[in-house]
Amino acid sequence: MATAAAHRTAGTPAHDASDAAAGTDARQAAFDAAVAADERIEPRDWMPDAYRATLVRQIAQHAHSEIIGMQPEANWITRAPSLRRKAILMAKVQDEAGHGLYLYSAAETLGTSREELLDKLHSGRQKYSSIFNYPTLTWADVGAIGWLVDGAAITNQVPLCRCSYGPYARAMVRVCKEESFHQRQGYELLLALSRGTPEQHAMAQDAVNRWWWPSLMMFGPPDDASQHSAQSMAWKIKRHSNDELRQRFVDICVPQAESLGLTLPDPDLKWNEERGHHDFGAIDWTEFWDVLKGNGPCNEQRLTQRRRAHDEGAWVREAAAAHAAKHSGEHTGAVAGRTGVKQA
Amino acid sequence: MTATVPVPTTAALALGDDALVLSHRLGEWAGHAPVLEEEVALANIALDLLGQARVLLSMAGDEDELAFLREERAFTNLQLVEQPNGDFAHTIARQLYFSTYQHLLYAELARGDGRFAPLAAKAVKEVAYHRDHAEQWTLRLGDGTDVSHERMRRACEALWRFTGEMFQPVRGLDVDWPGLEAAWLDAVSDVLRRATLTVPEGPRSGAWAAGAGRQGLHTEPFGRMLAEMQHLHRSHPGASW
């Protein structure tokens, strides 16, 4: 990447304050030019501190969402009603753990560590998507999450495949392929229920009723209340506004709900010929901010389980580190070095 | 009320039940593992086992009827695989004992020309990974810290009495059972030794445990596991999913 080379050569040692300032200005100019030209910023390129901080915040939140997001679905693994569905759900939860791994790796290219990020999650200093603070109450919720929650995630994440930060963009390409598959599986699960017995149909409708509005909230606050949007769009981290993506998602879901034979719980939802889009009802932002503040149905439970898994696993990670220290220099076999445990 | 499906004890069912039940237990770990890589690994092993279970149960009948509509007394899995997860060391000890057995058993079945040869040939590759994973963790925990050593020691001891059952001949499997047992003891003893652990001294089976699982006699936690596993399926008789 030609411009990246320019960033690096721009970083000549400075001899005094004015030289340093001039160096920073040159690097900033090279960075701005790279972003303007739709080039990728790579880990070793110079980048503004605020750009780095924004990306760490966003990628970490995304990684945390993948691992917290395992919980509502894992809640149904042991109760899945057929072996085929059980296999699909296990594979899906495994994929999510894998997505968490990619994303923590992408975040680490920015100079942070997985341990540090997990610590911020556990202490509540970093967030995860508030959709995972809703409970999965029936088997149909597994389908509703696949269809709506993964659907909203894909709508959000496909534009991120063109994000200005290379490692994040490349992680998103892989994640989106798998997410699209999960979404189809969720849709297909709901379809089976919708066409099944009256009880199964009712179960599917109830799940969609409960998950529809929280899914719309996944796109974040309305544009006029979104504090990071403008800057993220200028940096080409985001490509579309929250409301734009939300509208896109609604327009996609309406015909899908129709083919499912299920209704969406919004009396104001209707096609607007003039706009070429569906109009939809008002989102309950009070609920959104409330869940974000930690007062959703499962906030406490999700974080407690995550902390417990981490705390109860401490002796295991310590054992792996101690064993690695004792046997460094030996080859202990195929899985050695894949434990994800760093030596202190 | 759904009637329990009566089934004869067959080799396909015995091996299928082993895989099904252990897969279920490993599935309980999702979201609770000590490190993210283990979320992936445990789910991956659970998924492999579930795949094997589906093939094997389908050889014996309808996979879902067999999994969801049999009662406890009709399951023929080893008592070892139904043991609760306990801590990570218990899960690893159970996995070490079982995957070593399964790996040796499938290798032998794959060499033969019986009806299980095709399945065994595919499954033996998966199980080699399971075994490697269990061995590596046995080494890490046994030869890690004092705490992990003690936990691993306790887990190996606690599950030891369930290991004798694995070598009760299963009707319909053309296997050198005494040879299998000797090979298993050698392999497990070697891993334990390298992990600075000693081979447990207790009996490998009690009067009750020997071969009991294969005859539909299980341990108390198993009924509760089945209740959870079967509840939804049984609540909607005849429904498709």
CA A284 to CA A275: how far, in whole Å?
23
Q: Is A318 on the interface with B (CB under 8 A)?
A: yes
Find, in chain A, the residue whose alpha carbon is nearest to that of B41: A94
Q: Is A67 on the interface with B (CB under 8 A)?
A: yes
Compute the average pLDDT of residues A168-172.
97
Q: Which two tokens stand for residue B142?
A: 């046994």
CA B156 to CA B54: how far, in whole Å?
29
CB contact under 8 A, B35 and A316: yes
Look-up of token digits 């993210």: B36
User: Which residues are within 8 A (CB) of A31 and not within 5 positions of it... i.e. 6 or more apart?
Assistant: A7, A41, A45, A46, A47, A48, A51
So what's the pLDDT on residue A145?
98
Q: Is B68 on the interface with A (CB under 8 A)?
A: yes
Is pLDDT of A155 > 90? Answer: yes
Written as one string, the DSSP assignment of A6-19 is HHHHH-PPPSSHHH
Query: Which residue, among A183, A142, A305, A153, has the nearest Cα to B39 in the 3D structure?
Result: A305
pLDDT digits (tens, 9 = 90+) for A76-98: 999 999 999 999 999 999 999 99
pLDDT digits (tens, 9 = 90+) for A179-228: 999 999 999 999 999 999 999 999 999 999 999 999 999 999 999 998 88
So what's the pLDDT on residue B8?
47
Question: What's the pLDDT band for A334 if we cut at 50, 70, 90?
Answer: very low
Give the 3-state secondary structure of residue A316.
helix
* Residues above pLDDT 70, as percent of chain A: 91
Find residues 260-299 of chain A whose CB sits inside 8 Å of chain B.
none
Is pLDDT of B209 > 60? Answer: no
The predicted model scores a pTM of 0.92
Find, in chain B, the residue whose alpha carbon is nearest to that of A103: B36
So what's the pLDDT on residue A330?
73
Give me the amino acid identity at A77.
I
Query: Which residue, among A131, A60, A69, A130, has the nearest Cα to A102 in the 3D structure?
Result: A60
Is pLDDT of A11 > 50? Answer: no
So what's the pLDDT on residue A15?
55
So what's the pLDDT on residue B236?
98
CA B223 to CA B30: how far, in whole Å?
21
* Residues above pLDDT 70, as percent of chain B: 94
Q: Is B88 on the interface with A (CB under 8 A)?
A: yes
Is pLDDT of A14 > 70? Answer: no
So what's the pLDDT on residue A341?
44
| Helix/strand/coil (H/E/C) assignment for every residue in chain B | CCCCCCCCCCHHHHHHHHHHHHHHHHHCCCCCCCCHHHHHHHHHHHHHHHHHHHHHHHHHCCHHHHHHCCCHHHCCCCHHHHCCCCCHHHHHHHHHHHHHHHHHHHHHHHHCCCCCHHHHHHHHHHHHHHHHHHHHHHHHHHCCCHHHHHHHHHHHHHHHCCCHHHHCCCCCCCCCHHHHHHHHHHHHHHHHHHCCCCCCCCCCCCCCCCCCHHHCCCCHHHHHHHHHHHHHHHHCCCCCC
Find, in chain A, the residue whose alpha carbon is nearest to that of B233: A81
So what's the pLDDT on residue B104?
98
Find, in chain A, the residue whose alpha carbon is nearest to that of B86: A312
Compute the average pLDDT of residues A114-137.
97
Is pLDDT of A36 > 50? Answer: yes
So what's the pLDDT on residue A21?
77
Which candidate from A82, A114, A313 shows the least CB-CB separation from B34?
A313
Task: Report CA-CA distances (Å) from A245 to A216, A218, A239.
Answer: 10, 10, 10
CA A101 to CA A117: how far, in whole Å?
12
Cβ–Cβ pairs < 8 A, chains A and B: 166
Q: Residue A262: enclosing H or E segment and its boundaries?
A: none
User: Domains in chain B, ordered, with CATH?
Assistant: 2-235 (1.20.1260.10)
Q: Is A86 on the interface with B (CB under 8 A)?
A: yes
Per-residue DSSP letter, A338? -
pLDDT digits (tens, 9 = 90+) for A238-279: 999 999 999 999 999 999 999 999 999 999 999 999 999 999
So what's the pLDDT on residue A5?
45
CB contact under 8 A, A97 and B67: no
So what's the pLDDT on residue A182?
95
Chain A positions touching B28 (Cβ under 8 A) are 77-78
pLDDT digits (tens, 9 = 90+) for A41-58: 999 999 999 999 999 999
